[in-house]
Chain A
Amino acid sequence: MYLPDFDYHAAASVEEASNLLGSLGTEAKLIAGGTDVMRMMKEGTLALKSLISITRVKDLKSITHDQEKGVVIGALATHNEVMLSPVLQEKYMSVCETAHHMANNQIRNIGTIGGNIANAVPSADFLPILIALGAEITLQTSSGSRSMPLEDFFVGPRQSVIKQDEILTEIIIPEKGFSGSNYHKFGLRRSGALAVVGVAVAVTMEDNLCKDVRIALGAVAPTPVRVPEVEELLRGREISAALLEEAGQVAAANCRPIDDIRGSKEYRQDMVRVFTRRTLRKAIDAGHV
């Protein structure tokens, strides 16, 4: 395997990067940590003439809490920066834990949350938990920006609504008053394994009453998916073991996994059942974990 030749542009600002993306066209792409882009170019599954780096754009790295917006995560924050962020550790430990269980330390040091999202891979770990927490994203060009709920971003495997000259700049977790959240990545070893299924939940509990809940699944459909059937089942109900098991079964019945080398469709479906139940239990009992 050999990395083919390409031009490398180190953009100093989002505007510059956007202009370059626009003028160079579809044979150009952004590179953030490069953990995905480099691998694909080396393997020959991605052919590009130019890469535009945005790693010099420092203000895209911060993770802050804004009274109005909520928690704002810069797209260039690495997995380790997410994991170690005091703001996230205080508000959404579940997001830190998600980062903690991704890849390995080397990748966590350079891979970014923005790259994880823009990649639009169905098994990407940040997607379910951010969707469950109701995250919004901002896409920016040199002339303006738009924002949307993260769950509307994905179209299919490695496909999203992003336009050629758009750059994902921030991920915002608005204050929705969830009392707990949790993501479980079911992988085939303890470290360095991609998700066979990923289940994320965010709940608002009042005593034992489920006031609100959002559930998102990864690796079981062409994009990360919500399971409204389960959310409806649970909303406004008293939580019981039987109800959680039912939630798991409904989730399993409403996802469309495929067979691949990591697991069969049948296995994935049953794991959705098991981990929907267990993840709900954790978020209900233990808060943001």
Chain B
Amino acid sequence: MKEQHSVIGKSVPKIDGRVKVTGQAKYTGDLKLSNMLVGKILTSPHAHAKILNIDTSQAEQLPGVKAVITHKDVPDLKYGISPARWDENIFCIDKVLFVGDKVAAVAAIDEEIVYKALALIKVDYEELPAVFDPLEALEEGAPLLHESFAGNVNTEIHQNFGDVEKAFSEAYHVRTDQFVGQRTYQCPIEPHSAISVWEGGKLTVYSSTQSPHYFQYYIARQFGLKMGDVRVIKPYMGGGFGGKLEPTGLEFAGAALAMKTGRPVKMFYDRHEMFAHNRGRHKQIMKITTGVDKNGKIIGVHADFIMDGGAYTSLGVATAYYAGAMLPLTYEYENYKFDMIRAYTNLPACGAQRGHGHPQPRYAFECHLDMVAEDLGMDPLELRMRNARQPNTITPNDFKINSCEMEACLEKAKELSGWQEKKESLPSGKGIGVAVGSFVSGAGYPIYRTNLPQASAVIKVNEDGTSATLYTGAVDIGQGSDTVLCQMAAEAMGFTYEQMKIVAADTETTPHDFGAYASRQTLMSGAAVKQAGEEVYQQLLEMASMMLKTDFRDLVCCLGMISSKTNPEVTITFAEVAREFFVRKGPLVGKGSYTPPKLGGTFKGAPVGTSPAYSFCAQVSQVDIDEETGEINVEEVWDVHDCGTVINPSLVQAQVHGALFMGVGEAVWEEVLFDDKGKIVNANLGEYRLPTALDMPKVTTDLVFGDELEPAGPWGVKEVGEGATIPTMGCYSNAIYDAMGVRVYSLPLSYEKVWRALKEKREQEQQG
């Protein structure tokens, strides 16, 4: 059933488009407060070393320096995503754990003096043996990073659903493959920055953050402040992709410096420091085994993974669970086993990056399934169709799936790409591949343990009724949530988008929301906004019915005009009624909040991966490989999504294109590289190669819709932001195989790796 909508479903212009294009939008780094100091963090030059002594005296004496702080000046409380794994301090106390670890900080009257002061801080280190490889870190006798984590095991997961061993013993065919996913970094265009202001016992932090609330929570906790005395404000933002979800040294050290000096302190990371801070995608070593029956029906899967977490937990415990949790979303099978160890190494900590834990396992699984299909002599797309998840099913790890158009996505991608014909007729050197993806539309459980609702919203109609302001804690990091939430508010209120204003992502003026991560805001923040809008609508119609002396149930409001269903002559504007409401009753306000239903099973780790609703997608790509150089030219991509009801078609397209951009980069180019001392060798945009506009393939996007709306989302919405990143790496790998008959078992699928695989194949053929 398709509902009629007046505001949602339309590509209205972005609410912040004009200020961004004209350069008026102020990002955190643009803000200047009077009396503001500049702060910077001194970081470790060693991957693993004892701190013997820190001498700040010379730096303190430099004219213009207002404060120099070390671990002695800040609380020694550890932080991280979950109490069991709090393992990071504001500044290192006894030892440093990676090149870039935080040691001290300076605040001074300008940037130049800060840099000079940093150079004057003398730190004596005693270097310790370091470990940079997760497998080596797990070996006996490896250098130990944290005393309380024996064997460098940060997280260990063993989940077992059904009986995988039995499934394998009964399977017609069982196959195991191993793949490696690389370390990548989010590379948001806007560098991290934060301005801390300490005034009258209250701390205000302007920060480039994906979650003001989460920052508020941890900053308050670190400094023993009431949450109410910490205000976090997010100015305009230039991307995050997961890397700005947790507070960094910029907020913690900045707050301490502001408290010490009594002056506002601006802190920032430059591009190199962003790479060193990292919190990007984990490297994963992924062994995967699948058993199928004669018809290609999957009957059991075993995922056996190891990930390199770097020096701290960051958000990585969630990443580790997500890596296995999301594999069963796309295909139906009952027996599933997931083993994972997240190891500590002396490298920058890894965290959440778009698709959180899922893209690499999905690459491994999708490549592996193509190989299973080949063993069975079956078309790989056909194998996927046979296993595609159906709506209203439950995964082996107890995720309840409502709407699910996995099969329709595959069908549509097949049709759009001309799969059948291309499979048979593409010349040698060209090939096509398929892969799928799925993602949560918001995590079912909050980012830290709390019973707060996931999202809330308030809408206040202006006194004269000509505009309305939405107050929401939801965070627009560039993806357009301010725009879609205003569309949703207007739709629910019977109002127009053009008259909507928004105040968002400020912990003091806007109601609580957990922020931009886990693709949660369209569904979760949207649900709260819808409720708030409906409350306004209700009150407005009640007032209108009094004014018009008609039955309340006979009235409707649409695009700012109230009319009678039975008598088209009777109309009155939203504005008139809203004004009268204010005169008689005071502010016209609606509020809403959203808490998901209880989700998931009871086993250890069961909450990770739960969600009210899941998106699905299928991607087909066509590549042309230069057989002499290994160069990969992606000629075209067909991307089909089941993302539920669309609020803004342009923004869906933008998310899909952006996700493909990241997928392309991670598939072919991006990798953070280190020297043998753990120092990053490509911490810049020249050698850490993101794709350029010229590298983007032609892409055709399409959407599929089921007969029934997703019941869990307002108007049936789901996510598209992260899910769209997921299929690309596997899809390209499969296309390369189709073109050349070679498989590259590690990411990125660089030209040289393809060249080497082709060379080895030729050599084998010559021998054989």
Contacts and interface: CB of A to CB of B under 8 A. Distances in A.
Interface of A: 1-2, 104, 186, 188-194, 261-264, 267, 270-271, 274
Per CB-CB distance, the 9 closest pairs between chain A and chain B, nearest first, are A190-B694, A2-B115, A191-B692, A274-B628, A267-B752, A191-B694, A190-B695, A189-B689, A189-B695
A193 B668 CA distance: 14
Interface residues of B, number: 26
B272 interface: yes
B669 interface: yes
Contacts of A189: 669, 689, 691-692, 694-695
A1 B684 CA distance: 12
A261 B629 contact: no
Given A188-B669, A193-B689, 6 more contacts: A186-B629, A188-B689, A191-B694, A192-B685, A262-B687, A274-B628
Contacts of A274: 628-629
Contacts of A104: 692
Contact of A271 (B111, B629, B682, B759): B629
Given A188-B669, A189-B691, A267-B755, A1 B681 contact: no
Contacts of B201: none
Contact of B755 (A190, A194, A262, A270): A270
Contacts of B759: 270
Q: Which of B111, B628, B694, B695 has the most CB of A within 10 A?
A: B628
Interface in B647-694: 669, 673, 681-682, 685-687, 689, 691-694
Contacts of B424: none
B270 interface: yes
Interface of B: 111-112, 115, 270, 272, 628-629, 669, 673, 681-682, 685-687, 689, 691-695, 750-752, 755-756, 759
Given A189-B691, A261-B673, A2 B755 contact: no
B649 to A, nearest CB: 29
A264 B752 contact: yes
Nearest to B273: A1
A188 B270 contact: no
B111 A2 contact: yes
B114 to A, nearest CB: 8
A235 B689 CA distance: 40
Contacts of B751: 188
30 contacts: A1-B270, A1-B272, A2-B111, A2-B112, A2-B115, A104-B692, A188-B669, A188-B689, A189-B669, A189-B692, A190-B692, A191-B694, A191-B695, A192-B685, A192-B686, A192-B689, A194-B686, A261-B673, A261-B682, A261-B687, A262-B687, A263-B752, A264-B752, A267-B752, A267-B755, A267-B756, A270-B755, A271-B629, A274-B628, A274-B629
Contacts of B673: 261
A47 B30 CA distance: 30
Contacts of B111: 2
Nearest to A191: B692
B629 A192 contact: no
Contacts of B112: 2
A125 to B, nearest CB: 14
A261 B681 contact: yes
A186 B685 CA distance: 18
A101 to B, nearest CB: 11
Nearest to B673: A261
Contacts of A270: 628, 755, 759
A271 B695 CA distance: 21
A173 B587 CA distance: 79
B724 to A, nearest CB: 22
B697 to A, nearest CB: 11
A262 B685 CA distance: 14
A72 B687 CA distance: 34
B471 to A, nearest CB: 40
Contacts of A186: 629
Contacts of B752: 263-264, 267
Q: Which of B669, B685, B689, B752 has the most CB of A within 10 A?
A: B752
Nearest to A267: B752
Contacts of B681: 261
A193 B687 CA distance: 8
A271 B756 CA distance: 12
A38 to B, nearest CB: 14
A189 B628 CA distance: 16
A264 B629 CA distance: 13
Contacts of A191: 692-695
Nearest to A266: B756
A148 to B, nearest CB: 31
Contacts of A188: 669, 689, 750-751
Contacts of B686: 192, 194
B510 to A, nearest CB: 36
A194 B682 CA distance: 13
A100 to B, nearest CB: 12
A270 B760 CA distance: 14
A176 to B, nearest CB: 30
A87 B609 CA distance: 63
